[in-house]
């Protein structure tokens, strides 16, 4: 009996995904992601090749025994990278870290409480992490879990395109494709130092930095969703949030990195991913619809958000009310994708000094202004490394302690406004957090 997908084009698969009548989701995802192309016979060949590749990589990660008696290499205490013991202990540590996350992944679902499914997750995450320079990052577990759930929820097919026996290899293939389509970039840390004007403290959250190459992809993406998409689609809500100067990544990192898998139920997440993949342009290097879904989600909670102030607003942004009308959100997001309202929001790059120079200058100006010239020499940057890349929060704290000690020593009646000092320290800490993301 011929299957429905034997003669279906990618356009037909996309239409089925958007209509909510998608069968064999695991196959459809691979078609929409460009993993499968050509005839169904070619899909079978592609699947066979990917499975062989995964099983080879998995086998190669098993430490080999040393032939003969090499007392240097065949030693549990050896630090030699060629020692099977060294490899074994290194692998075990990575597995331990992965297992910690696997054991807490979607535990409200019985599906993920089953030891067999935990083993599938652990194995696929381990193999991917050991064969890619990015390694393992928290958040990978949620992404892989959704893929595993989709695969094992599908019925097996006679042509073996869906085979529960080969679920690890197939999950690895789809996960790798997600990573290659912009998701991996959002886990890469950027170590270069962003630049800001001297009023950097206010600019951190209020200036659009979505086109600045010296920031990580994650930060640029968060800024794009907030400063470009939300500003274009819901300016009232945008300016309300902007007023409180909350950095966009505080509430958008989780949404973007995990592709909204934490924001919806598993079955809702499958529908969201169906739509994201169906709207994906295979020539694009990321999932563009994801940006618009995030903006639509913010607007869907606008009445509540507009009524919140200060920390209550941040709390609502980070833990929004569960969305019931998922289809309505997706329809709005797809309209945004067609109309591209964010193209109408202009981006104006700014010029400025290095952020660390700015923060130190802020502290220097504060001290010389509040305390006066006699105390100014204390702010000579003697304890700060000349290389600005080495400047840390601890360095700023040292300066602050030094200033306070000198004030006490001179028994001056004037006092530094500690809130202003905290601003300078907070500025540095935020940017360190930027780099960590």
pLDDT of residue 49: 98
The count of domains in the chain is 3
The answer to whether 377 and 403 are in contact (CB under 8 A) is: no
% of the chain at pLDDT higher than 70: 69
Asked if pLDDT for residue 324 goes beyond 90, the answer is no
Distances, alpha carbon 63 to alpha carbons 90, 154, 226, 323, 380, in Å: 11, 34, 47, 47, 55
- The per-residue pLDDT for 322 is 87
pLDDT tens digit sequence for 73-116: 555 555 555 555 556 667 888 999 999 999 999 999 999 999 99
* Structural domain includes residue 252: yes
Q: Is residue 196 part of a domain?
A: no
Torsion of CA 138, 34, 60, 84, to 10 degrees: -30
* Residue positions counted in the chain: 437
**pLDDT band at 385; cut points 50, 70, 90:** very low
In a domain, residue 425? The reply is: yes
pLDDT tens-place string over residues 162-180: 999 999 999 999 999 999 9
Q: Clarify whether residues 386 and 327 are in a common domain.
A: no
Is position 313 within any domain?
A: yes
- pLDDT, average across residues 212-223: 89
Residue range 184-194: mean pLDDT, rounded: 72
Q: What is the DSSP letter of 195?
A: B
Among the ranges given (6-10, 238-242, 383-387), the one the predictor scored with the smallest mean pLDDT:
383-387
Count the helices and strands in the chain (H runs, E runs). Answer: 20, 0
* Pair of tokens at residue 68: 């003969």
User: If pLDDT is split at 50, 70 and 90, which confidence band does 373 have?
Assistant: very low
pLDDT digits (tens, 9 = 90+) for 30-83: 999 999 999 999 999 999 999 999 999 999 887 655 444 554 555 555 555 555
Q: Is residue 120 part of a domain?
A: yes
Whether residue 192 is contained in a domain is answered as: no
The model's confidence at residue 379, banded by pLDDT at 50, 70 and 90, is: very low
Position 372 scores a pLDDT of: 42
31 and 148 fall within a common domain: yes
Boundary residue ending a domain (296, 321, 344): 344
SS3 418: helix
Residue pair 152/168 in contact by the 8 Å Cβ criterion? no
**pLDDT per residue over 230-268, tens digit each?**
999 999 999 999 999 888 999 999 999 999 999 999 999
**Cα atoms found within 13 Å of the Cα of residue 145, Cβ hemisphere only:** 31
Report the pLDDT value the prediction gives residue 352, as an integer from 0 to 100.
Answer: 39
**Which residue range(s) make up the domain with 398?**
355-436
Does residue 195 lie in a domain region? Answer: no
pLDDT at 220: 92
Q: Please identify which residue in the block is written with the tokens 């990573």.
A: 179
pLDDT grade, residue 206 (50/70/90)?
confident
Specify whether 247 is located in the same domain as 282.
Answer: yes
Assess if residue 193 is contained within a domain.
no
d(CA 302, CA 17): 29
Assess whether pLDDT exceeds 60 at residue 391: no
What CATH number does residue 330 fall under?
A: 1.10.472.80
Q: What pLDDT was estimated at residue 374?
A: 36
> Are residues 221 and 144 part of one domain?
no
Average pLDDT for the chain: 80
Whether residues 232 and 365 share a domain: the answer is no
pLDDT higher at 19 or 435: 19
Better-predicted residue by pLDDT, 315 or 422:
315
Residue 131 has pLDDT above 80, yes or no: yes
Question: Does residue 299 share a domain with residue 155?
Answer: no
Residue 6's pLDDT band, with cuts at 50, 70 and 90, is confident
């Amino acid at each position: 009996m011929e299957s429905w997908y034997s003669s279906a084009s990618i356009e037909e698969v996309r239409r089925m995904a958007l209509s909510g009548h998608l069968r064999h989701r695991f196959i459809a995802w691979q078609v929409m992601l460009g993993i499968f192309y050509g005839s169904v016979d070619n899909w079978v060949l592609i699947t066979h090749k990917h499975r062989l590749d995964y099983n080879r990589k998995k086998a190669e990660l098993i430490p080999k025994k040393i032939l003969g008696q090499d007392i240097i290499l065949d030693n549990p205490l050896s630090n030699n990278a060629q020692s099977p013991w060294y490899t074994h202990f290194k692998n075990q540590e990575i597995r331990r870290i992965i297992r910690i996350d696997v054991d807490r992944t979607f535990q409200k679902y019985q599906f993920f409480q089953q030891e067999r499914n935990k083993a599938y997750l652990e194995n696929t995450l381990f193999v991917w992490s050991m064969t890619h320079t990015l390694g393992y990052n928290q958040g990978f577990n949620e992404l892989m879990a959704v893929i595993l759930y989709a695969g094992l929820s599908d019925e097996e097919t006679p042509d073996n395109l869906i085979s529960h026996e080969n679920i690890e290899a197939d999950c690895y293939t789809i996960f790798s494709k997600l990573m290659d389509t912009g998701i991996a970039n959002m886990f890469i840390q950027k170590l270069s130092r962003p630049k800001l004007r001297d009023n950097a403290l206010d600019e951190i959250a209020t200036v659009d930095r979505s086109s600045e190459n010296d920031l990580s992809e994650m930060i640029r993406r968060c800024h794009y969703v907030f400063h470009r998409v939300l500003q274009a689609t819901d300016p009232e809500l945008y300016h309300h949030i902007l007023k409180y100067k909350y950095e966009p990544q505080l509430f958008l990192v989780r949404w973007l990195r995990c592709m909204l898998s934490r924001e919806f139920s598993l079955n809702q997440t499958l529908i969201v991913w169906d739509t994201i993949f169906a709207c994906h342009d295979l020539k694009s290097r990321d999932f563009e619809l994801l940006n618009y879904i995030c903006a639509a989600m913010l607007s869907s909670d606008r009445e509540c958000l507009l009524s919140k102030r200060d920390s209550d607003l941040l709390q609502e942004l980070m833990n929004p009310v569960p969305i019931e009308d998922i289809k309505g959100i997706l329809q709005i997001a797809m309209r945004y994708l067609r109309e591209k309202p964010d193209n109408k929001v202009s981006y104006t790059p700014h010029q400025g000094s290095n952020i660390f120079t700015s923060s130190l200058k802020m502290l220097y100006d504060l001290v010389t202004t509040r305390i006066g010239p006699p105390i100014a020499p204390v702010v000579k940057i003697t304890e700060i490394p000349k290389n600005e890349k080495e400047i840390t929060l601890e360095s700023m704290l040292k300066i602050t302690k030094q200033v306070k000690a000198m004030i006490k020593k001179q028994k001056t009646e004037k006092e530094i406004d500690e809130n202003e000092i905290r601003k300078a320290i907070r500025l540095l800490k935020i940017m360190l957090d930027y780099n960590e993301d």
